[in-house]
Amino acid sequence: MHDLASAAANFINLDPITIIYLFLVGFVGGLVSGFIGSGGAFVLTPGMMSLGVPGLVAVASNMCHKFPKALVGAIKRAKYGQVDVKLGIVLGISAEAGVLYGAHIQESIKKAFGDAGSNLYVSISFVVVLGVVGIFVLRDAWKTYKAGNMHAEEKMTKLAKWVQSVNIPGTMVYFKSLDARISILFTIPLGFATGILAATIAVGGFVGVPSMIYVLGAPSLMASATELVIAFVMGLGGSFKYALNGMVDIRLAMIILGGSLFGIQLGAMGTTYVKPFMIKVVMGLIMVIVLFSRALMVPVYLSQLNLITPLTEQTTKILKSTSFAIMIFALALGAFIVLRAMWQGRRAEQRELKETLAHSKA
C-alpha cells in the first residue's frame, strides 16, 4: 500500500496563474479532442510536470479529466449521428487491456533503466509511431486535396475491404459505422495497440483513429467520434487504477476539465462544418509536429544514459524548452485550423441561407 503522507505531499499548491494556465491548456486540448477524438494529453502531462507535479500524478490527473471530457464529447457527437457506440466499447475493452500491459512495460523499463530509460522509450515510441502513422495520414489528406475530391465520399482502403470480406464464424459482429460485419479478431489487436500507445505516450487516438479509418473502413468523422468512446472506457479504468493508489489530484483534473469542456463542445460542433478530410489534416499535422518535438529529446535521454557523449547543461535546457514549445505550437495550430474551418463553414452556411431567402422573396 502506498504511503498516505507522501501521496498528499505529491499534490502541489495552486495559485491563480497556475489555475488559469491549466484552464487554458485544457480548453485548447478539449477543442482538438472534440474534433479529432484525442490530443491534448501530450501537452497537458508535461505541462503539469513543468509545474512541479510528479510524473505519475500528472498522468493520473490527466486521465481523470480525460474520461469525463470524452463522455461529454461523445454525447455531443452522438447527437450528430457520428458515434458508433458498439465499436467504441468493443475497441475500448481491448484498449483497457492494452493500457494495463503498456503500463507494465513502462514499469519494467523504469526498473531496469531508470527515469532516463523510460523517457527514452516514450520518445522513441512517439517518433516511430507518429513517423509512420502521421506521415501516412497527412499523405492521404494531401492526395485527397490535390485530387480535388474533398467533397467526394471517402474511399475505403484495400486493407479495409479485405478485413470486411473475411468471415470467421463465431467472431463476426455488425458495426453501423462500417455498415458491415467484421471479426472481433481484427478489433482486439487494434484496441490493444491503442491502449499500449495510450499508456506510453498518453494519446491512444493517434493509433485508434487511423486504424478505424484505414484498417476497418470507418469514415473519418465516425472514427474520430468513436475514439471518444474508447477514450472514455480507457480513461475510466485507468483513472480508477491510479486512484486506488491515491495518485489523482482531483483539483488539477477538474480545473483542466473546466477548460476542456468549453473546448470539446466547440470542437464537436466544428466537425459538422468541415469536410471529413479535415480530420486527417489536423490529426496528421499535429502528429508530425509532435514527432519533431519528441525527436529533439532523444539525444537528451541518450546522454543521460551515457550512450552518447554527454550534452552540456545549456544544450539540454535549450532542447527541452524547444521541444515543449514545439508541442504547444502543435496543439495551438490544431486549434487554429479547427476554429478557422468552423468560422468559414458558418459563414458559408449563413451566406447560403441569405441567398435562399432572397431567392424565395424574389
Partner 1 sequence: MTTTEQKTRKKPVAPLILTGIVSAGLYFALLSNQDFLNNTFGKGGLFAFLPIITAFVFSYFHGTFTGHFWTMLGVEASKKKMEVK
Quick check: 250 binds partner 1 (CB under 8 A)?
Answer: yes
Quick check: 14 binds partner 1 (CB under 8 A)?
Answer: yes
Quick check: 301 binds partner 1 (CB under 8 A)?
Answer: no
> Which helix (H) or strand (E) covers residue 7, if one does?
helix 4-9
Residue placing its CB nearer to partner 1 in the complex, 108 or 356: 356
Quick check: 334 binds partner 1 (CB under 8 A)?
Answer: no
Calpha distance 211→315 (Å, rounded):
38
**Site for partner 1 (CB under 8 A): which residue of 31, 36, 72, 201?**
72
Smallest distance from the beta carbon of 353 to partner 1, in angstroms?
A: 7
**Site for partner 1 (CB under 8 A): which residue of 262, 295, 326, 328?**
262
Residue placing its CB nearer to partner 1 in the complex, 268 or 296: 268
Written as one string, the DSSP assignment of 224-279 is HHHHHHHHHHHHHHHHHHHHHTT---HHHHHHHHHHHHHHHHHHHHHTTTS-THHH
Quick check: 221 binds partner 1 (CB under 8 A)?
Answer: yes
| Residues whose CB is less than 8 angstroms from the CB of residue 239 and which lie 6 or more positions away in sequence, other chains included | 60, 63, 64, 66, 67, 248
| Residues whose CB is less than 8 angstroms from the CB of residue 288 and which lie 6 or more positions away in sequence, other chains included | 130, 134, 135, 138
Quick check: 21 binds partner 1 (CB under 8 A)?
Answer: no
Residue placing its CB nearer to partner 1 in the complex, 235 or 299: 235
For residue 186, the tally of other CB atoms under 10 A from its CB is 18
**Site for partner 1 (CB under 8 A): which residue of 95, 198, 269, 286?**
269
Calpha distance 135→14 (Å, rounded):
39
Task: Write out the residues near partner 1 by the rule CB under 8 A.
Answer: 1-2, 4, 7-8, 10-11, 14, 19, 64-65, 67-69, 71-72, 75-76, 79-82, 177, 179, 219, 221-222, 236, 239-240, 243-251, 253-254, 257-258, 261-262, 265-266, 268-269, 271-273, 345-346, 349, 353, 357
